[in-house]
């Protein structure tokens, strides 16, 4: 039987060819629209560029978006683990659902880091289960706290970024959270994600970094496919209907009179470290993010892992400084009280 795999031919002259166009090679296919382009010589590739240029740039941009989505999603999971704020005592699978049983939270919070709770790795049975728990009810966190780093990474890739809210459908996973008093938490919230329009062709994609809470793990999906398969209806968001709106809304709610306000403040400061440490990593490794995204796939994933680990270490050190500062402030208050003062001392501001 003859082989059905025809040898590649040169896109310019039709001769046998082995040289693939590295620009659009490995670009994700949408409905089979990507066919590998080969050339027999550099001369043929140069001659054909006037015809291939438009398609190649469109596919390159698509590939960069998918790579950027992977980096951003890994950053999001790391960020959520570093700033995890749910006290989960046990996890059960029941009737196709994931049930999270939460314990009793601290009644007294005197420092920002008092809000943070170690993630319960031992309660998760699979890596996917862990990602789902990390992403649970955190779609606003993805839009708000990754806003600056997302905008930075998507320079030259996205022509427009739109924050969007919807009612979802076709979930592969439902998560239910049960409070310490056995009451079930309300999950009737709209789901936040991004619609991204690309340069070089204007293709539109949904970027959903927190979709693991619904059992979906792809950060980037063509917008038409996402809308048809996951969106029951789009929701209005008139008070913050612009890119950066969620961040502005949550930042405005920060304060020191409640645990929620204190945690929001910690997120505001911690999110700055994402962009700051990314720029530091670029300098130390002499590798701009756009160069990382253009690397061959195995190497780009390796660099992605190193980048996320580096940012995680920076966040960890920042939180350690906050804890030490809070402990020092507590000691100063106790000394002031012991000396007959009123205990009113001002804690020093920590910088990320």
From the first residue on, what is the mean pLDDT of each consecutive set of 10 residues in the chain (352 residues)?
66 93 90 87 95 94 97 98 95 91 81 90 96 96 96 97 96 94 86 96 97 97 97 87 91 85 92 95 96 93 97 94 84 77 52 46
Q: What is the pLDDT of residue 341?
A: 57
Residues in the chain, overall count = 352
318 CB contacts (<8 Å, ≥6 apart)? 269, 270, 273, 350, 352
**pLDDT value for 331:** 79
**Per-residue pLDDT at 1:** 37
Report pLDDT for 336: 79
324/293 Cα distance (integer angstroms): 37
Separation of alpha carbons 220 and 130, rounded Å: 20
Whole-model pTM: value is 0.90
Phi-psi region of 99 (alpha: psi -120 to 50; beta: other; left: phi over 0): beta
Q: Provide the pLDDT for residue 2.
A: 42
Q: State residue 344's pLDDT score.
A: 55
């Amino acid at each position: 039987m003859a082989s059905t795999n025809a040898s590649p031919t040169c896109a310019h002259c039709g001769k046998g060819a082995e040289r693939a166009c590295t620009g659009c090679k490995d670009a994700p296919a949408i409905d089979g629209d990507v066919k590998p382009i080969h050339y027999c010589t550099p001369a043929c590739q140069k001659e054909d560029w006037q015809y291939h240029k438009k398609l190649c740039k469109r596919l390159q941009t698509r590939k960069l978006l998918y790579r950027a989505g992977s980096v951003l999603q890994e950053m999001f999971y790391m960020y959520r683990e570093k700033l995890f704020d749910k006290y989960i005592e046990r996890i059960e699978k029941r009737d196709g659902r994931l049930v999270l049983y939460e314990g009793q939270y601290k009644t007294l919070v005197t420092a920002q880091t008092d809000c943070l709770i170690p993630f319960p790795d031992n309660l998760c049975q699979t890596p996917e289960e862990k990602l789902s728990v990390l992403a649970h009810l955190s779609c606003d966190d993805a839009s708000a706290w990754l806003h600056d780093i997302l905008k930075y990474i998507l320079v030259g890739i996205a022509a427009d970024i739109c924050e969007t809210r919807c009612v979802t459908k076709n979930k592969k996973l439902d998560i239910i959270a049960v409070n310490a008093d056995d009451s079930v938490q309300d999950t009737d919230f709209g789901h936040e994600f991004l619609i991204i329009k690309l340069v070089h062709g204007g293709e539109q994609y949904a970027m959903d970094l927190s979709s693991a809470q619904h059992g979906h793990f792809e950060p980037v999906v063509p917008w038409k496919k996402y809308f048809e398969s996951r969106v029951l209806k789009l929701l209005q968001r008139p008070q913050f209907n612009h890119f950066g709106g969620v961040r502005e809304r949550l930042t405005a709610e920060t304060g020191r009179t409640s645990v929620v306000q204190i945690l929001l403040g910690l997120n505001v400061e911690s999110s700055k470290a994402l962009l700051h440490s990314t720029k530091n990593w670029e300098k130390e490794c002499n590798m701009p993010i756009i160069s990382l995204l253009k690397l061959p796939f195995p190497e780009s994933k390796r660099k992605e892992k190193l980048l996320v680990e580096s940012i995680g270490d920076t966040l960890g050190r920042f939180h350690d400084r906050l804890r030490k500062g809070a402990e020092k402030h507590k000691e100063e208050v106790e000394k002031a009280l012991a000396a007959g003062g009123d205990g009113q001392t001002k804690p020093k501001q920590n910088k990320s």
